[in-house]
Structure formats: C-alpha cells, structure tokens
Amino acid sequence: MFRSHIMVCGGTGCTSSGSKKIIEAFNKEIAAAGINEEVKVIQTGCFGLCALGPIVVVYPEGIFYSMVEEKDVKEIVEEHLVKGRPVTRLIYDETVQGETITSLNDTRFYKKQQRIALRNCGRIDPDNIEEYIAYDGYAALGKALTEMTPDEVIKCVLDSGLRGRGGGGFPTGRKWALGAMNHADQKYVACNADEGDPGAFMDRSILEGDPHAVIEAMAIAGYAIGATKGFVYIRAEYPIAVERLQRAIDQAREYGLLGKNIFGTDFEFDMEIKLGAGAFVCGEETALINSIEGNRGEPKPRPPFPAQKGIFGKPTVLNNVETYANIPQIILNGPEFLNTIGTEKSKGTKVFALGGKINNTGLVEVPMGTTLRTVVEEIGGGIPNGGTFKAAQTGGPSGGCIPASLIDTPIDYDNLVAIGSMMGSGGLIVMDETTCMVDIAKFFLEFTVEESCGKCTPCRVGTKRLLELLDKITSGNGELEDLDKIEKLCNFIKEDSQCGLGQCAPNPVLSTLKYFRDEYVAHVVDKKCPAGVCKDLMQYKIVADKCKGCTACKRACPVGAISGNVKEPHVIDQAKCIKCGACVATCKFGAIIKE
C-alpha cells in the first residue's frame, strides 16, 4: 500500500516541457528520502491545462502543482511528502484561497467542464490495464457480449444521440446499423486517429491518456456489426500515442480481452495499428481506407460507402477516436447517460483543443451547447496581455472564424454550420486584435493547397488560384472586384470538389470575408493591414520628437536602412527596409512605430 500517489502528466505538452526528467527526479528523491515504499510515482495522460505544464498532482490531497521544474522536485519531496507541508509557491494559484487550498474542480478552468471522453486522462496510468479496469474498464464490453444482442448495442448507441466527433457529425448508431446490415465473410472496424488539423490534439491526448477506452469501444463496435478485426490509423507524428496504444493492445491480448473467446463467448476480435505518413486528406474516410490498403491516400467517390465496401472491399465501420471514447460509458450506463446532456440535436460533450491568444491553452471538454464566451472567458481565462477577443477559429482548415459578435452562440454541430464554420475535430484557436483575418485565411488556404491530393481539379487548381487572389490582396495589389471573384471561386470549389477537403477548403476564406469584410476592404482600398501583420502593407517610421539619436536602431538594422547622426532624429529608408522589426525591439524610447 502506498500512502501517496504522485501523478505526473506524460502528455505530449508536458513531456515537451520536461516531465520525463521530473519523474526521474521524483524517483531519485523519494528513494533518497527513504519513502519509496510509501509513495508511488505515476505517469498519466493529459490533465488539459497544458499552458501550466509540467503538471504534478499529489494524491490523496489532490494538490495541483503547475510549471514544476526539475529543481523543485527535492523541495516537494522533502516538504510535502516527508513533512506534510505543501509547497505553496508551486501550487496552481487558482486553487489557493488564502490559507486553504480548494479543489481543482472548483477552478475556473475545470468548473464548467464535464469529462466523459477524457474521464480517465490524468486519473490513471495509461500503461497499466489494471488501473483502467479498476475504473469500470472493459465492463461495457463484458455487458455487451454477455447481456446484449448486437442489435441492442446498436440501438443503445443510436438512442444515445452520439454523433461522429471527427468533423461531419454523422450519427454513430446509424453508421453501425449500416455496417451491420451489409453481409460479408469479413468486416472491419477502423479508428481514425489521423488528427491532421493544425491546432487539434484531442485524439492524441485520449490515446495517450486512456488507450484502453478506444480498444474496448472498437471491440464493442466489432461485436455490434459482426467484425473480427480492427485497424487504428494513426499519425506517425504521435510517437507517444503509438507506443502506449501498442502496449495497451498487447496487455488486452494478455488479459484475453482481445483475441478468441472474449469473456468466454464465441466472439473474437483483434486489432492492428497502421501508421499514417503525413497527409491531411487521409482524415477523409475513403482516403484513409486507401492508405490502410497501402496506396496513395486519395479519396474515392461515394457510394459505395465504406459501410458497404471499405477496407480491402469489405464492409467497414470507421469512427474517430473521441467518438469511440464515449462508447464504453454509453453501453455501461444506457443511452440516457449521453442524451440527457447537450442540445436538442447534439448530445453529450465535445473536447476542444484551446489554443492561440488565450491564457489557458490546453484541452477542455464541455457539454454541447456551452457558449463560446464560457469557453474563452471562463475556462480559457481570457486573452493574455489585456488583449480583446476578435475571433475564434473552429474546424481547422475546413472551418471558419466566429466573430466577437457571435460569442454567445451555443456551440453545437448545427449552430456552427449555420454561422459558416464547423465543429471539425475540435481545434479552437482564439485570435485577438493583432491577428489579421486575411492573413489567417491565407494561412489555412496555404495548408489546403499543399494538402490537396491533386485528384480533382476544383480542389487542386481552384485552391491555388484562390491563394493567388489572397496573395494579391495582402501584397497591396488587390482590387475591389477581386473580392467578388474570391466569393465566386469559393462557391465553385465548394460545390464541385470531390471530397470534404476541397468542399470545406473555402470556409476560412468565406467566413472571414463574411464577418471581416472591412478588413479585406482596408487591404484593398486603403492598402493598410489594420492588424499590422501583412508586411507589404505597413511601414516602420521613426517619430522625430521621440528619437534621441542614440543610434541603437541604426546598429541593429540588418540591411542598413536607418541613417542619422548621433543625437539627431534618425530616418528609415523605406526602399531598403525589410520590415523585420529589429529596430523596434532595440528602441528604448518607443520612437519607432508601425503603421
């Protein structure tokens, strides 16, 4: 028995900020203090509050230490674990109320969250199947196999109202019913873990923090549709997730939870990891299937749908990681578990990867219908450096920007589509007034241009031409009629592209054009970038009154564009200036302005 457990976050965010070394240091210090029989160090999945990583939580007290460094470990061990005095200076300040330390669940970050898909992330050791089992793990699979027929399983999922969390929001139960309907000698279950949206990392965090939930759900899906084999298609860029998932699969096999005669029934199911190789289009289901088959990941026309003809031509049910992570709880607790949460047509919760200009970057899970305001201002802790909220981008390169005027929109599938964005897999990037909306539209379009697989012309050529039009605008050569051309081209690409990538590629452009047309017009007519981002449209100038003639900027300028004598105001030669901003950084008098 251990009297204390130290949970150290081993998600990618915290690992990147050094949590592995912290674990080593804890083990060393605990041994040095002679309490290694009493205290256990556990590497967990993501706690969500990545901005404050590396995160260390000490149980049973539940003390939440943030931004822990290797050198702090000794103090935590000696003070907290040996003497019982928590190290106040390292405790997450929101949990400290004068002399008392409040529960993490009462902090602004966690209070309005409801963790279903992330329920075990940060709570268990993902490398230990016993810990998953201790939290009802594999009980849902046991219930499905021994107490329910496949049809009952499908009905339960259907009644729960669960919709695909990967983007489109297709009802999961319907997908399973279609897969069950089509008869074949072999069927497959697949999991889309090819999370390619820039700024989205919820699927990775689930696989890193709770891999068994996905394995259990896939086995349940296999039982429901009559498949004996599963594939997880996962990005090779996620090495930690791949490693933990493989270990989890091995453990599940060892425990007889994968393989033949699972739970003493006739049901058999096994699974395999297929590594992706970096192609955004593989998030599209037919492209993903092509890639699993070892081909170029190009999409295929539908029908036939994967439920009819999928991997190797066999009926295949394909769901996303977060969708699967919901399944065990639904089977175990019945459809009401999910359909009592959320809005009329969007049930349950959604995980968002909160990033950009926001204080609490990280992973949050909120009930469907939570407003963007709650997510940004309360959970996200607002905009850093006193900035103002300008827009939030959801759905990555397939989604759009939501302006500040719509910040009270309840977030669900249908509302987001209605305002020109989409749920996507759940990236939520916050922007403030220093973000140029034309530049952001261009950024996403550059991504789609590069990721277009090239198979169909509207997407391959259309997105490229669209990018050229945006380039024309940000370089100061835009004309007003270009805006109409852009709109026309966007609609053409939307209507005529073969797959979701092309059909959604214009969304970032259309939504920014709709809500931030003024900004486009400023670029075109006034030749100004209001946010001061587009280099070709701005100038650095020295305010003569403020310049003391210290020559610091002159020395810092890499291209010799600044001239002037000592103690006299300097000037910038606009023809030479490369707009690197080095002069601004060196000026101690605030004499250099950007306009």
Q: Which residues bind another protein (CB under 8 A)?
A: 12-13, 16-17, 50-51, 53, 196-201, 204-205, 236-238, 274-279, 291-298, 312, 353, 355-357, 361-362, 393, 396, 427, 429, 431, 435, 440, 443-444, 453, 581-582, 585
d(CA 159, CA 344): 13
User: What value, to the nearest 5°, has the Cα angle with vertex 76 and ends 75 and 79?
Assistant: 75
Q: Contact, 279 vs 453, CB < 8 A?
A: yes
- Signed CA dihedral, 457, 458, 459, 463: sign only: positive
Task: For another protein, give the closer residue by CB, 169 or 355.
Answer: 355
Task: For another protein, give the closer residue by CB, 148 or 358.
Answer: 358
- Amino acid, single-letter form, for residue 222: G
Q: Contact, 565 vs 554, CB < 8 A?
A: no
Task: For another protein, give the closer residue by CB, 346 or 394.
Answer: 394
Q: Say whether 469 sits in a helix, a strand or coil.
A: helix
Instruction: Give me the least distance between CB of 451 and another protein, in Å please.
Output: 8
CA 182 and chain centroid, separation: 34
Task: For another protein, give the closer residue by CB, 30 or 509.
Answer: 509
d(CA 93, CA 65): 9
Instruction: Give me the least distance between CB of 298 and another protein, in Å please.
Output: 8
Instruction: Give me the least distance between CB of 108 and another protein, in Å please.
Output: 17
Q: Which 8-state DSSP code applies to residue 305?
A: P
Instruction: Give me the least distance between CB of 170 and another protein, in Å please.
Output: 25
User: What value, to the nearest 5°, has the Cα angle with vertex 353 and ends 348 and 355?
Assistant: 145
Task: For another protein, give the closer residue by CB, 167 or 355.
Answer: 355
Alpha helix stretches (DSSP H) within 507-574: 507-515, 517-524, 552-556
Task: For another protein, give the closer residue by CB, 162 or 430.
Answer: 430
Instruction: Give me the least distance between CB of 39 and another protein, in Å please.
Output: 27
Instruction: Give me the least distance between CB of 199 and another protein, in Å please.
Output: 4
Task: For another protein, give the closer residue by CB, 157 or 440.
Answer: 440
Q: Which tokens in the block code for residue 15?
A: 């690992």
Instruction: Give me the least distance between CB of 188 and another protein, in Å please.
Output: 12
What is each CA distance from 487 to 34, 276, 317, 481, 502, in whole angstroms?
A: 69, 34, 36, 10, 15
d(CA 11, CA 240): 8
What is each CA distance from 338 to 157, 160, 333, 343, 415, in whole angstroms?
A: 9, 5, 9, 11, 19
Instruction: Give me the least distance between CB of 17 and another protein, in Å please.
Output: 6
Q: Contact, 314 vs 224, CB < 8 A?
A: no
Pairing of strands 592-594, 39-44: unpaired
CB neighbour list of residue 234: distance below 8 Å, 6 or more residues apart: 193, 194, 207, 241, 242, 245, 273, 274, 275, 276
What is each CA distance from 275 to 113, 231, 437, 532, in whole angstroms?
A: 32, 10, 35, 41
Instruction: Give me the least distance between CB of 84 and another protein, in Å please.
Output: 31
Instruction: Give me the least distance between CB of 383 and another protein, in Å please.
Output: 12
Task: For another protein, give the closer residue by CB, 303 or 558.
Answer: 558
Instruction: Give me the least distance between CB of 429 and another protein, in Å please.
Output: 5
Task: For another protein, give the closer residue by CB, 51 or 148.
Answer: 51
Task: For another protein, give the closer residue by CB, 187 or 204.
Answer: 204
Task: For another protein, give the closer residue by CB, 39 or 292.
Answer: 292
